[in-house]
Structure 1
């Protein structure tokens, strides 16, 4: 491959977040280049579902049905429980996965697909777009400048280094992001909650499961503590051993792992074949980066927020980060927005990252024995799927803005909140409008049609089938951004003010101040 010299957007990281960024940018018409230090996509299942809000974004770019055509081997599994051993009685049955499956809230159901199924699919589709996708290529140097970023790349196969100038750099290189360290960005949050070592093994556990279809089973007895997850839904399993602070991966030989597995299963002579013991320890952690933007560098996904593995918010948060970013880069790239729109990425997404990490950490602790009802944690976390909102950013704030996570069944439909799913008069829905600017009205109002036609960016006017449910002021309208968030709620008298609002939302006024992170 020829060496890159310049690219509008360089994406560092070829996981779900990075690949999604490439797909979203291509859909908006922005060329990008993606580099990933590893030679191949993710090989282990890791995350095993994609929530409904995230599927709305994949639906927008035409990938919903493609993703649904591939199903996790444990798609029909529902049991999350605690026990002393797998073969013993359950001590506690916990709420199922938090996915936001409610047809009243979205036309999109969650997708039950494993991460190692999703990543190759995204890579295939990203490579078919205008994106330049290069694996086995690593970012080894980053210098943010006033209007671009100077990046040093390393070809890990040949050892060759070269520099590329990127107008924007999206950092999606994972929880242990080397680029974040290069930039000197710290992090906060609960920190390390547990240390785990993965052991993959084959065993026939049907008799001991008693017909249960396990998503995850935590076991705790005097000999061992950890959790089981099925890999293929038949005979291959992963057991994540909980480690003491002084234990290392090298301490766990194959023979020791077999003994621990039998103790965890609760059958002393069970045939067990260990086929892999990871050579490194992984952490369950709750961390949030202090910054999500340094100049034209944007931190996203696990590089920005490390979440405990409960509720399927790891993938969701990363994908939603980069959709928020993609439409903003697109407008800035085309000269239609000021620098404040780029700054709004951090002011909008960082508070959401903090809230998501805090609630996910709380739920993890409840699931693992902390005082309290795990159902409360599940309910709080489930509201995040559609109920998170922005306090400061690319919208005209009014007095109705929600604080905290709203109940998506009773949406405020206020600036900074998700534009709730609702039918349109033409038979489509508000979710079908993702990617463009939309004016939602309660009636076929000529004033709003003229306002949309006169805007200097494409804005389309649409009539709601049930305007009373959407709280549109009589004769008024709701302006919705390309990511499906409310930018403005207007009265009938304000139709002539659309241009002024767009100038404000897109930070095009001279001296527009960047939004404040709250």
Structure 2
């Protein structure tokens, strides 16, 4: 085993999430990025409720919610008429699903993650490019370039979070199958905007004039401008203040709207591509290095963050000796189907949104936001890590719901408060599971927290939210994975099944 356990190439949201998750587990990790410094743009601005749950587990949800921009969408017709819409799917919460969709510029999401990473003792190494790597059965040897010199880094594992043009993916020889749609090109930038209310996301969608979105962000003067016109699709211009300003006037007909000089710009061509595998020996792919999506629904960044969340706990258990290397095979087995789902869903949502463009102010552009795009229904029921012995309510592989409960002192405690941290959580419903929790807690040496929901237990479920969320009508135990999915559902007395599950993690052998 090397002194460095994991080398991460790429310090975007995916790489930063993975680095934070590994560092809090005590894994020795380095993060390199070829950019000269932190990403300055707003690009991926929608944070789904499931990703907010990931941030919650990292202790960052409250900070993200405070920094977010309240979203009301103002949709304009041709004559300057408008309607204000607040898509219900962005804001509908419940005791089991407590977090809303957030509107955050990507640079701020990254800054929140990078701040935590710094507190965990890891600094991103910018201006450091991965040139090449080799691997054997024991380690990965990477050559990186910094300034005029090179450096060799040896690590147990390498994870490519280095974007759609991933060096790691290309050198690993992984196919990136799919298509680029040259007829769908979006120009994006960060600019100051005057002439519009700063508490609305302003949207024009016209099949003849084009699509324009002007989106403010809380606490800063820069707005995101995103524009697509039919005239540009054959040969789109380079984004600039002049190009943006001309498009704004042509699409809106409102000369009072003026834009400042962009501080960041990008040309976005719609791509639908996915890697055919996510693991090659001791090397993994995550985020845009593994899949790229249409922008509708904002699934790209969120799916990447959730890739990292799936991989992090598995690397942590393997590196600590609590699981066999075969656990890492389940990363590909669980995340490839999710990547395929995200590509299909974002493509379908883009088609649905485009279909609304010609309806004027009657258009419901909230169609892009559905229960699917909240990402709360995603799970791994098909995974070998999902085992069922008790078929009430939620199923093994499903996302573990939240619920407000009370502790012994009567204080409010959510299940997410119990789940938070780099451990499995064994939850017992009912007094008869008390001894089972004690037996498992004493027997398994890995990271595990136990929680008894009962009178005189760790928590009480006075309002029945926990029982409702989990569908438990009697007594049972559920084992919650470190990434907030159910590993196992069993009868309240079945300690053997729980211990067998946890012990089997150590005997998992890689099929590669």
Give the stretch that moved more between structures: 230-239 or 107-116.
230-239
Shift of 1:280: 5.9
- Which of 129, 136, 160 is the aligned partner of 1:138? 129
- Kept in 2, the 8 Å contact 1:292–1:299? The answer is yes
- Which of 412, 428, 433 is the aligned partner of 2:413? 428
Q: In the comparison of the two structures, how many residue pairs are matched?
A: 483
Structure 2 residue ranges without an equivalent (≥5):
358-362, 454-460
Summarize the Cα distance change of 1:302–1:81 in structure 2 as closer, same or farther, 3 Å threshold: farther
Shift of 1:246: 3.5
| 1: CA distance, partners of 2:280 / 2:511 | 16
Shift of 1:350: 1.4
**Partner residue, 1:263:** 250
| 2: CA distance, partners of 1:322 / 1:83 | 41
Summarize the Cα distance change of 1:241–1:200 in structure 2 as closer, same or farther, 3 Å threshold: farther
Q: How does 1:175-190 map to 2 (within 5 A)?
A: 175-189=164-178
- Which of 316, 325, 333 is the aligned partner of 2:319? 333
Residue 413 of structure 1 pairs with residue 403 of structure 2: no
Q: What is the root-mean-square deviation of aligned Cα atoms in Å?
A: 3.3
**Partner residue, 2:500:** 500
**Partner residue, 1:81:** 75
Residue 365 of structure 1 pairs with residue 359 of structure 2: no
- Kept in 1, the 8 Å contact 2:380–2:386? The answer is no
| 2: CA distance, partners of 1:235 / 1:128 | 28
Q: How does 1:60-71 map to 2 (within 5 A)?
A: 60-71=57-68
**Partner residue, 1:197:** 187
Shift of 1:204: 3.2
Q: How does 1:83-482 map to 2 (within 5 A)?
A: 83-84=77-78, 88-90=80-82, 96=87, 98-99=89-90, 101-155=92-146, 158-189=147-178, 191-192=180-181, 194-198=184-188, 204-206=194-196, 213-220=199-206, 222=208, 224-231=209-216, 238-242=225-229, 244-250=232-238, 258-267=245-254, 272=258, 275-276=261-262, 281-369=267-355, 378-382=369-373, 384-393=374-383, 395-398=385-388, 412-424=393-405, 426=407, 427-432=412-417, 433-434=419-420, 435-444=422-431, 445-464=434-453, 465=461, 466=464, 468-469=467-468, 470-472=470-472, 474-482=474-482
| 2: CA distance, partners of 1:212 / 1:124 | 28
Summarize the Cα distance change of 1:317–1:437 in structure 2 as closer, same or farther, 3 Å threshold: same
Shift of 1:139: 1.0
Residues 342-382 of structure 1: per-residue CA shift (max 9 Å, x gap)? 11111111111211221122112111127998666533424
Give the stretch that moved more between structures: 164-173 or 51-60.
51-60
- Kept in 1, the 8 Å contact 2:203–2:213? The answer is yes
Residues 137-181 of structure 1: per-residue CA shift (max 9 Å, x gap)? 1112132432322211111xx221222112111211123323222
| SS in structure 2 of the partner of residue 88 of structure 1 | coil
| 1: CA distance, partners of 2:217 / 2:303 | 26
Shift of 1:275: 1.9
Residues 271-315 of structure 1: per-residue CA shift (max 9 Å, x gap)? 745624977632133332222222222211222222333334333
Structure 1 residue ranges without an equivalent (≥5):
402-410
Summarize the Cα distance change of 1:484–1:261 in structure 2 as closer, same or farther, 3 Å threshold: closer
The normalised TM-score by structure 2 is 0.83
Shift of 1:241: 3.2
